[in-house]
Amino acid sequence: MTFLKKKIAIIVQRYGHQVNGGAETHARMIAERLNVKYDVTILTSRALNYHTWEPELPGGEFIENGIRIIRFDHPPKGSRKKLHQFNRKIRGRHLIQKFFRFIGEPKWFQTIFPQVKATEQDYQQWLELQGPTMRELPAYLIDNKEEYAAYIFMTYLYYPTAVGVQAVPEKSILIPTMHDEPPAYFEVFQKVMSAPSWIFFNTRAEQVFSEKLFNIKSNNKEIVAVGIDEASVNVDESVKNKFGIDGPFIVYVGRIDKAKGCDTLLNYFKLFKNTYHDKTKLVMIGKNMIEKEEHPDIVYAGFLSDDDKTQLMKQASLLVMPSEHESLSLVLLESFIYKVPVLANGKCEVLKNHIELSSGGYAYNNYNEFRNGLQLLLQDKELNKRMGCMGYDYVKNNYIWENVLKKFDTAIDDISSKHRKNK
């Protein structure tokens, strides 16, 4: 007897093998795993670059790795100047708002000159400027609500999730990938976070932060994160030769961006090299979004195939994670499964928790701590190996696909059951 698979849709701002981003990679991993049991459709934009939302990819329906993808039309990102203006207004940094605070906001003055306050329309315009503004998406979700058993929304911050989850709240599973950043405090996201039937947090730290910030109505909350596959033991030394790496190296993987702390990482590494004149190189893997630092020991490897990226990660002395804002960090978990320790920014609560719970590396809060952690992991081979093994054990004990997929099954079944009762 043939059973039809339940149809589910995953909504994410960008999608595809050519997209470089943590949440987008997370979405792809989940989609490819769920596609074994479910009929998965991806609803996404035509963009590759989140800075511009330029619709570079063709619109319409496609198949990638056995998964159906529907790419919606959208304009390029709106005026950066207008987005900053709305940011200032919403955050209370408008010049008039600053003036009111300076003069102490006397009641008589407020009566004559009412203070500038963000309106519902302001939030809507901010969301559209934030993008990618897939205007046809909400109607598609509503019109096809009977076709899909559940909608899984990735990343609270962008238009497709913020608007989409409010269009079909009763069928929504939200994976917010929330962290402490200015937009998290915007009033518009109170509605987003209180709308879905289920919320899946990546870490306990993300859940604690979110519950302090939002009135979350749903009782259906879970720590789900993502599963990590066991790594093969195969090592290909020739990959290092492609990039002129002839000695020890540390690796960064992700967008090379100020928002990810890469400018500080580059400065810290140069300071380290000024003191310790060894052969250690810093290899930066990912699309570069900042001005390149000309330095003989800094290698910009670019956006690599999964195989080449994996080989460089396996052979690195350590992974460095300089970001202050992460909701999970897939790269850190991948590094642990390769038994490679991690040097992470301790100002990020999620990264710090991973390090503390695993003992798989060091967290740093300033240059001195960065230097000390880097020096120890480079010079003490036994310590390096021991921390790598503890990181591996941490991932094996906490990030297993079987458990992750069971939680998706529970949520999808719950949504389907409630929908049948309400019909």
pLDDT in tens, 233-272: 788 989 999 999 999 999 999 989 999 999 999 999 999 9
Buried b (16+ CB within 10 A) or exposed e, 294-303: eeebbbebee
Is the Cβ–Cβ distance between 13 and 1 less than 8 Å?
no
* Topology agreement, domain 7-76+131-227+401-422 and domain 238-398: yes
Q: What's the pLDDT score for residue 324?
A: 93
Radius of gyration of the chain (CA): 23
Does the structure show a pLDDT above 50 at 108? Answer: no
Q: Given a cut of 70, is residue 83 above it in pLDDT?
A: yes
Closest alpha carbon to 321 in 308, 306, 336: 336
pLDDT at 97: 46
Give the pLDDT band of residue 273 (cuts 50, 70, 90): very high
Q: pLDDT value at position 231?
A: 80
Superfamily grouping for domain 7-76+131-227+401-422: Glycogen Phosphorylase B; (3.40.50.2000)
84-106 b/e (C-beta count within 10 Å ≥ 16 → b)? ebbbebbeeebeebeebeeeeee
| Residue among 152, 126, 160 nearest 13 (CA) | 160
Q: How do residues 312-364 score in pLDDT, each as one tens digit?
A: 999 999 999 999 988 889 999 999 999 999 999 999 999 999 999 999 999 99
CA distance 224 to 328: 10
Q: How far is CA 150 from CA 8, 11, 38, in A?
A: 5, 11, 11
Determine contact, residues 310/316, Cβ cutoff 8 Å: no
Residue 325 CA to residue 259 CA, distance in Å, equals 8
Q: What is the pLDDT of residue 81?
A: 83
Q: Which of 35-39, 92-96, 231-235, 256-260 has the lowest mean pLDDT?
A: 92-96
pLDDT score recorded for residue 98: 46
Mean local confidence (pLDDT), 177-188 = 88
Residues above pLDDT 70, as percent of the chain: 93
Distance of CA 208 to the CA centre of its chain: 18
Q: What is the pLDDT of residues 121-135, one digit of tens each?
A: 888 888 899 999 999
User: Which stretches of 353-421 are assigned E, i.e. beta strand?
Assistant: 361-364
Q: Are 196 and 153 in contact (CB under 8 A)?
A: yes
How far apart CA 286 and CA 331 sit, in angstroms, is 12
Task: Output phi, psi for 151, to 5 deg.
Answer: -115, 130
CATH number of 238-398: 3.40.50.2000
What's the pTM?
0.78
Q: What is the pLDDT of residue 260?
A: 94
Sign of CA dihedral 58, 226, 193, 173: positive
**Confidence band of 111 (pLDDT split at 50, 70, 90):** very low
Give CA–CA dist 326/23, Å, rounded: 10
Contacts of 263 (CB under 8 A, 6+ apart): 290
Average model confidence (pLDDT) across the chain: 90
Alpha-carbon dihedral 342, 343, 344, 346, rounded to 10 degrees: 130
pLDDT band at 413 (very low <50, low <70, confident <90, very high): very high
Asked if 83 and 69 count as a contact pair (C-beta separation under 8 A), the reply is no
- Kindly report the number of other CB atoms within 10 A of residue 82's CB atom: 13
Domain boundaries, the chain: 7-76+131-227+401-422, 80-125, 238-398
- Helix, strand, or coil (residue 402): helix
Cα atoms found within 13 Å of the Cα of residue 97, Cβ hemisphere only: 13
Asked if residue 114 has a cis previous peptide bond (ω within 30° of 0), the answer is no
pLDDT per position as a tens digit, 186-234: 888 999 999 999 999 998 889 999 999 998 876 799 999 889 888 877 8
The pLDDT value given to residue 84: 80
Q: Which residue has the tokens 């696909």?
A: 401
Handedness of CA 64, 70, 74, 78 (dihedral sign): negative
